[in-house]
A and B are shown apart, each in its own frame.
Chain A
Amino acid sequence: MRYKITHTTEYRYQYPTTLCYNEAWMSPRSLDCQQVVRSRIKLTPAAAVLRHRQDFFGNEVAFFNVQEPHKRFTITVESEVERSAPANAVTTDHPAASWESVRDQLAVFRPDRIEARSFTLPSPLIRPAEELAAYAAPSFPAGRSLFESVLDLSTRIYREFEYDPEFTTVTTPVLEALSARKGVCQDYAQVAIGCLRSLGLPARYVSGYIETLPPEGEQTLVGAAASHAWFSAFIPDMGWVDFDPTNNQMAREQHITVAWGRDYSDVPPLKGIIFNGNEHELKVAVDVRRMEVD
């Protein structure tokens, strides 16, 4: 499926600001199941400095610095992406290895497992905790395969949590979202990640988009009109498998991956420092549309 994604962020300030510095994780990554046809960033006013790089996790990051006085700053990223469902989301052939055996295998050094191992560690927003392990426990009975366990966990979060944007912010601790059983996609994902890591299993945070306007008759997914987030679990012989607990499904062709990291703090869509800081208003719009391809 070919998508055109337009992600617009606008800041309006009460008084002119003369300087701002930003980093943005808004350009989709290229993956086996996802080709980035084009992605460009448009800034108004124009930035004096705009630099692109790959971060520690291989994500595309843009750094920009506006140096002229402005009362309004618009950041628009337009991307065209060819996306298909990942092979491991389509297959019905799931490895039978129990979650405990995966956990124990990972403890043994293997050069190709270093990355997976690193995602079992605590991160700035997600620390392993007994509460998280306890919440996960019903999904992880002894001997169950890792895939089935994670799928069950994702479904339970979907069922047991209430989607409530009023309740949380980007800095709400995972344990708070867990005890209230409330939050947005980011909290759903981070709770799941915390659960897996508390059991010694690798999980990472994925930031991206989902299709805004599906063709008639198809389901409109929650998380549209803004950035979306889900999690990915490492399952030997399958690789990294993406689960979207907010929509109770695996990430398929309607999910467009932008970036991944240990948690939200590694891949916020946008962060910035402004000078002569004053009151500001923020507007964000995300539009994801199917494109007709000949």
Chain B
Amino acid sequence: MIPSNSTTDLLQGYEQSKAAFDEMWEGPGRIRTHWQHLLQQIQALGPNEMGHRKLELQRLLRDHGVTYNIYGSPQGARQLWKLDPIPYVLPQSTWDRIERGLQQRAQLLNLILADLYGERRLIRSGVLPVELIYSDRNFLRACDQVLAGQTQQLLLYAADLSRGPDGNIWVIGDRTQAPSGWSYTMENRIAMARALPELFANNHVRKIAPFYQQSRNALARFAPHDNTDPRIVMLTPGSMNETYFEHAYLAALQGFVLVQGRDLMVKDNFVWLKTLGGLEKVDIIVRRVDDSYCDPLALRADSQLGVAGLLEAARAGNVRIANPLGSGILENPGLLAFMPSISRYFLSEELILPNLASWWCGQPRERQYVLEHLDQLVIKQMDRRAGQRTVFGWQLTRVQREELQRKINAFPYLYIAQEQAVFSSSPAFDQQQLTARHTVLRCFAFAGESDYEVLSGGLTRSAPEAGNKHVSGQSGGSSKDTWVLSKEPVRPIRYQATLPPGLTQFKQLQDLPSSAAENLFWVGRYGNRILYIARLLRIVLKYRAEIENFDDASDTEIYHVLLQALTHITVTYPGFVGKEGQRNLAQPEQELRAIMLDPTKIGGLTHAIRMWKNGANAIRNRWSTDTWRIFDQVEEDWEHLMTDPSTNMLKIRSALDQLVYNISALVRLTHGSMSQEEGRSLFGIGMDLEYSLLMSAMLRATVVVKREPSIASSILEAILLNNHSLTTYRHRYRHYLQLDRVLDLILLDATYPQSMAFALQRLGHELDHLPKTGQPGKLRDDQKLILKTYTDLQLVETTSLVQTDDESVLLEDLDALLASVRQDLSKAADAITHTFFAHTGKAAQQALLLFNPDL
């Protein structure tokens, strides 16, 4: 049935690359039963087609914006997520054991957690040595008795598993603080189902999607005070975090409000979300912030990521935190050594899944063993930050080894040794072939009604190349979809490529955190600023090219006026303005390039693009997949332009065209796809406000000075072009360009969508829809200011604006009007910020009390 040459092609060299135990390869010519069907399907597709599908997977992940931040990476933080087209496959029999083993382990860890912050029977009865727990910085004494009496404490759980040479599955580590990987697991499955649907056929792959909804419902059951409709927030450290993508994605998928510490506050011993409309009570916090950073009062005082008073609110039972603060103690590596005896103590059971052999040096026999086998062991030191505390014994020089032995003898209880984890290998598709890679599997569970529920699958990661035993997200390997094969057929479900629409929406505007609203406002403002600057630059570069070809005095004058307008609009003084600007005007190249490409030039185009993207990234969960693709594209294109040594004016002009096109598309998409509740109004307010500000600056920089008619006319043409209004003007007036008519059209005509009057009118409506915070029946300051500006424009007579005595070079009335418009709009922007985005400010630590300062 399958041409034998394709088999040999795909599997050529496979055996050499495999580990002691391979997930697929049982022996020469023998493929494990659960792999046979899948392998045939892969072979049927053939190496070329598999190659195409692999590219398709990468495209899907990129389009979905699936990223992973690598700390200290030179290319900037964001890295694309990698997914191998070959899944990691487990048959039902193996899976059943894993599932039972993880349920047992989660139960045990839950009991340990409740005990260590409660009665501490494990310590009092000698099952756990006091030194092991009390010298671990993750044992947080402030969390003592916080959940006293609660039997269910550990709500979320993840474990890393590997398979040894004998085929047994081992637990190599527990993740209990803020287990990550849930979103990547889901994205992997969505991408696989899209790119390789054939592989799923007849393989009975268990579904994973229901897990996510079920886990949300299960969490909701833990809401305090039996609240049946709890508000759940996901607390993230922010967009620089390693797995920020995951936080944004999970929040959107599960209907959690994505928040940072500054979005929350504790008042009356409850936790509140600061929203546009005021404070909203929070019932459950799913946190991705590490234990000690969650409350600067009770825990680390230097943390800016947490909420002061959070622990006390939890102690009062007014908020539930998943996982509870203090659960990091369960990640103590020495605990592994005691799990078998703890299991006997609490459950009178043996561990279903063994864990990595571990030796705590606080015990004399164990210490002796460790000292004698140092070169074969992985040594971990407690009381050190994660990452600093792992030493690989075989990498030590003799001197280093003796030094370590001395330290272990001095403070033995601080050291734990573990055997090196061994990994089985699993096929990966690389260079038209299947090759074996070491793999590790992360599994996930949540506390369900009667037992822990385990996700039927997980996140498999594999080493970057054959033989490499380093498997972690940070080491550049790839990930895999994880298949649990059911004996029974599984009813197919369709995975949606993007989020189901209902899930990204919020019950009401009330749920929009103030900081998210502020980001939307600024993304709107920066979006329009980029558009405006980019359009103006296109015209500037057009003149520049013309002058280069034919040195014309009036063209040069127009060019200079436009360059000065550019300085005014970007607020990059002196730039081309005033006495100091004279030199730049004579030699504009350097300044012009800086405005376009220098990221350190505040106000310049590159700076604006970065600010815009940062703002968007901070509210990653608010954008649809399609919108996000444009954000990424714009950033990618522009960063490329900046760093490409071959960038010349021609390339810049074409990049500007692309930029204008992309951002215009994004604005249309956003207006179409974002609901009012999600803050479309804030986005719109930002855009309209910025537009009006820019236009007043542009007009002031260009038309308030009287000029010779032919030059004035060319400048008007540039303004209309920049305003997307040249065609309309010509259509409406069928006349040469005249200032009063131009002003009528783009400044005063409230029926014309590109005019400032129109933008202000819409802005007024948008502001009316924001939650009222002023006195009933009265306008807020921001509303007043916009109404005033709009009314000023409505009442003005165009003829008076362009009238002037012959002496003056300035159109004084017009200048005064534009100046006052600009001032009022700036005040309105401040008023909006003050009314809606003002947070309670940065927390400061009170001075700790000093002893006896006067002695």
Q: Is B2 close to A, CB under 8 A?
A: no
- Which of A84-92, A139-147, A153-161, A264-272 is the interface stretch? A264-272
Task: Provide the residues of chain A in CB contact with B297, threshold 8 Å.
Answer: 21-23, 271-273
Counting contact residues on chain B (CB < 8 A from A), the size range is: 35 or more
Q: Is B800 close to A, CB under 8 A?
A: no
In the complex, chain B residues 833-855 whose Cβ is within 8 Å of any chain A Cβ: 840-855
In the complex, chain A residues 26-76 whose Cβ is within 8 Å of any chain B Cβ: 48-49, 51, 53, 55-57, 63, 65, 67
Partner of A226, one of B144, B847, B853: B853
Q: Which residue of chain A has its CB nearest to the CB of B309? A: A21
- Which of A162-170, A173-181, A247-255 is the interface stretch? A162-170
> How far apart are A283's CB and chain B's nearest CB, in angstroms?
10
Q: Is B296 close to A, CB under 8 A?
A: yes
Q: Is A77 close to B, CB under 8 A?
A: no
Task: Provide the residues of chain A in CB contact with B853, threshold 8 Å.
Answer: 165, 226, 284
Kindly supply a per-residue 1/0 record for chain A positions 168-211, scoring 1 wherever the CB is within 8 Å of any chain B CB and 0 otherwise: 01100000000000001110000000000000000000000000
Q: Is A94 close to B, CB under 8 A?
A: no
Query: Are B135 and A53 in contact, CB atoms less than 8 angstroms apart?
Result: no
Query: Are A268 and B851 in contact, CB atoms less than 8 angstroms apart?
Result: no
Partner of A21, one of B134, B308, B383: B308
> How far apart are B562's CB and chain A's nearest CB, in angstroms?
45
Task: Provide the residues of chain A in CB contact with B298, threshold 8 Å.
Answer: 23
Task: Provide the residues of chain B in CB contact with A51, threshold 8 Å.
Answer: 269, 312, 316
Q: Which residue of chain A has its CB nearest to the CB of B136? A: A121
Are A272 and B846 also in contact (CB < 8 A) when A117-B130, A118-B134 are? yes
Q: Is B123 close to A, CB under 8 A?
A: yes
Q: Is B131 close to A, CB under 8 A?
A: yes
Q: Is B45 close to A, CB under 8 A?
A: no
Q: Is B770 close to A, CB under 8 A?
A: no
- Which of A97-105, A235-243, A274-282 is the interface stretch? A274-282
Query: Are B845 and A272 in contact, CB atoms less than 8 angstroms apart?
Result: yes
Kindly supply a per-residue 1/0 record for chain A positions 198-236, scoring 1 wherever the CB is within 8 Å of any chain B CB and 0 otherwise: 000000000000000000000000111111110000000
Q: Which residue of chain A has its CB nearest to the CB of B851? A: A184
Q: Is B266 close to A, CB under 8 A?
A: yes
Give the distance in Å from the alpha carbon of A284 to the alpha carbon of B126 in the complex.
45
Q: Which residue of chain B has its CB nearest to the CB of A261? A: B141
Are A109 and B126 also in contact (CB < 8 A) when A19-B265, A273-B296, A274-B844 are? yes
Q: Is B538 close to A, CB under 8 A?
A: no
Give the distance in Å from the alpha carbon of A275 to the alpha carbon of B844 in the complex.
6
Task: Provide the residues of chain B in CB contact with A277, threshold 8 Å.
Answer: 841-844
Give the distance in Å from the alpha carbon of A128 to the alpha carbon of B410 in the complex.
10
Task: Provide the residues of chain A in CB contact with B52, threshold 8 Å.
Answer: none
Task: Provide the residues of chain A in CB contact with B268, threshold 8 Å.
Answer: 48-49, 67
Give the distance in Å from the alpha carbon of A51 to the alpha carbon of B840 in the complex.
23
Give the distance in Å from the alpha carbon of A228 to the alpha carbon of B383 in the complex.
29
Task: Provide the residues of chain B in CB contact with A222, threshold 8 Å.
Answer: 855
Q: Is B124 close to A, CB under 8 A?
A: yes
Are A229 and B851 also in contact (CB < 8 A) when A63-B312, A121-B131, A273-B308 are? yes
Subset of 11 A-B contacts with CB under 8 Å: A11-B846, A65-B267, A109-B126, A111-B124, A122-B383, A165-B855, A227-B851, A227-B852, A268-B848, A275-B840, A276-B840
Q: Which residues on B are within 8 Å of A, measured CB to CB? A: 123-126, 129-131, 134-135, 141-142, 144-145, 265-269, 296-298, 301, 308-309, 312, 315-316, 383, 411, 413-414, 840-855
Q: Which residues on A are within 8 Å of B, measured CB to CB? A: 9, 11, 18-23, 48-49, 51, 53, 55-57, 63, 65, 67, 109, 111, 114, 117-118, 121-122, 128, 163, 165, 169-170, 184-186, 222-229, 266, 268-278, 280, 282, 284
